[in-house]
Chains A and B, each alone.
Chain A
């Protein structure tokens, strides 16, 4: 059985549907990413899989155990890092780690090799209270605490939120090493650029999976021509492009507009069209899709279908 099996999970809070018929599996040694904005239902799913919440319908298995009936067995074998920093702020780095080691019936020394790479970075601060660490250090400590008992599955709920860019890269490097040790990792993030670090990703929005594949496959299967349009008049350009017959979608993207079209066009054709409509164009360039493009396109399609 795969490390995690999610089978038609449904969960709502009153009228609000948090998870709508979710199904996927995560294999041993796989790094699986849940990509979606805040409120997509990621944390709810984590809590159901870590046996903290009950789903309204559907079943789920973690390390071969049913999440409701065998919750005690699961709690011994998983590591969980909640979305909010949840260690004892008034306890030092070392005290936190040894406390969590003890409650899982182990010691720091016994599993030191597993956390060594991360812990060496924390070691200079080991007498500092956890509440006084920087954001990146806090997350590294939380990861250490979630790992100290050698879990078979690791649940990381937005581990890189509020962490600086350098620490984020380091964090993903660590996850890669852990994956190689055979640990299945389910990780969520609102940052689309982190998606490419996963083996497979599920794009989720409003409790539904929009797409599930490896990031490379997803990009390869994007299927529509994509252009980056650079213009000083972003708002007017958006209006013009959205009314053009060839446009599938036009979305603001930093200082550019990402344009997908229904038919294959030359960059110069688009440029000419826009200049005819009186828009100053600096540059039009065909580009490869990013996960963010895919997400925005899918979510737009999902929105229009709902209406």
Chain B
């Protein structure tokens, strides 16, 4: 029986290496996705163009304008002379933020009052607008503190916040775990369900069934190559993250790989389950895209935080394997925690494997109907 199994694996291997599309999904997609998330979908920004409407036009306001540009996050685009000109920049898309400096800016600054400086942003891109306002506010506070300290006002309360585990708020730290979760799901669940559905569609399943092969060997033979490839993908993404985006693995690498393996099993059992339910590749593709990819992308806490979603979506998020896997990855990679902090998530994934395998087993048909 072991010979039969290897013959099956070999056959599956031929299918994979002779199909350019599968190869592209296997190795092109992880690289492309990591690089895309890394460079394109970054929440950091540099050199955002701003306009300033300066009513004060004194020494302090000029210093403030210099200060705003000093970090490299903002570059001055235009000095405005009246309110009417404000919208022009937004409409042309050249300006991201307008800072309006009030007439008595100087006085407020040195009385130690909070500065009432008006910041106007383009609300059609709320994420960006928020980030800009945050940066600008931080810089204004810095500016005020600097000015005051030069005049030696005795008592000051300084708030210093620190972001643990990701002090620079590097977005790569969150997308590397998410990308691993997504790619493993695509390789394991989607490609496996596709390859089994393909045998049904082309009629080869008919011949395989009319042979002494036990169903278990058929399934194992089909999924084993994908399990190995998925594992290679996981390592590839970790390496890309480490060398290109400097995402560390603080915890145990062995534990990390073990969890990847567990998640691979979840994906494979999902894929097998989908394939037992679909008779064509198209059907399998739709089920895995709509049923797995979309929820894993949106409801797993990968892109949007789960805690800010309505209750029902949070519930759905909690039955998605990726939610737990991303938690585990963040724990091990970024916080460097050990088994005692992620064992609950591991148990949940183990439970999912059992349930899904039981379903797939029950659904596998030894006949055509």
By a beta-carbon cutoff of 8 Å, the part of chain A in contact with chain B is: 47, 50-54, 71-72, 75-76, 78, 80, 82, 84-91, 95, 98-100, 102-105, 145
Contact between chains at A54 and B369 (CB < 8 Å): yes
CB distance from A175 to the nearest CB of B (A): 19
Contact between chains at B369 and A53 (CB < 8 Å): yes
Q: How many A-B residue pairs have CB under 8 A?
A: 74
Sorting the interface of chain B by its residue count into under 10, 10 to 19, 20 to 34 or 35 or more gives: 20 to 34
Contact between chains at B206 and A86 (CB < 8 Å): yes
- Considering the complex, give the chain A residue whose CB is closest to the CB of B366: A71
Q: What are the 5 tightest A-B residue pairs by CB atom distance, in nearest-first order?
A: A86-B203, A102-B7, A80-B210, A76-B212, A52-B368
- Chain B residues with CB under 8 Å of A54's CB are 367, 369
B157 within 8 A of A: no
B243 within 8 A of A: no
Contact between chains at A86 and B207 (CB < 8 Å): yes
CB distance from A133 to the nearest CB of B (A): 15
A14 to B315, CA, bound (A): 40
CB distance from A99 to the nearest CB of B (A): 5
- Chain B residues with CB under 8 Å of A88's CB are 11, 14-15, 204
CB distance from A161 to the nearest CB of B (A): 14
B163 within 8 A of A: no
State the majority secondary structure of interface residues on B.
helix
Contact between chains at B208 and A103 (CB < 8 Å): yes
- A50 interface neighbour in B10, B208, B210, B366, Cβ under 8 Å: B210
Contact between chains at B14 and A103 (CB < 8 Å): no
By a beta-carbon cutoff of 8 Å, the part of chain B in contact with chain A is: 3-4, 7-8, 10-11, 14-15, 18-19, 202-204, 206-213, 366-369
- Chain A residues with CB under 8 Å of B202's CB are 86, 89
Contact A52-B211, Cβ < 8 Å, known A88-B11, A99-B7 = no
- Chain A residues with CB under 8 Å of B212's CB are 72, 75-76, 103-105
Query: Which of A52, A54, A89 has the most CB atoms of chain B within a 10 A radius of its CB?
Result: A52
Q: List 21 A-B contacts (CB under 8 A).
A: A47-B206, A51-B367, A52-B206, A52-B368, A53-B367, A53-B369, A71-B366, A75-B210, A76-B212, A87-B207, A88-B11, A88-B15, A90-B14, A90-B18, A91-B11, A91-B14, A91-B15, A95-B11, A99-B10, A100-B207, A103-B208
- Chain B residues with CB under 8 Å of A86's CB are 202-204, 206-207
Contact A75-B211, Cβ < 8 Å, known A102-B4, A102-B7 = yes
- Considering the complex, give the chain B residue whose CB is closest to the CB of A91: B14
CB distance from B83 to the nearest CB of A (A): 69
Query: Which of B7, B10, B18, B210 has the most CB atoms of chain A within a 10 A radius of its CB?
Result: B210
- Chain A residues with CB under 8 Å of B15's CB are 88, 90-91
A47 to B19, CA, bound (A): 31
- Chain A residues with CB under 8 Å of B206's CB are 47, 52, 80, 82, 86
- Chain A residues with CB under 8 Å of B368's CB are 47, 52-53
Contact between chains at B204 and A87 (CB < 8 Å): yes
Could you list 15 further interchain pairs (A-B, Cβ under 8 angstroms) beyond the known A52-B206, A52-B368, A54-B369?
A47-B368, A51-B209, A53-B369, A54-B367, A72-B212, A75-B210, A75-B212, A82-B203, A82-B206, A86-B207, A89-B202, A99-B10, A103-B4, A103-B212, A103-B213
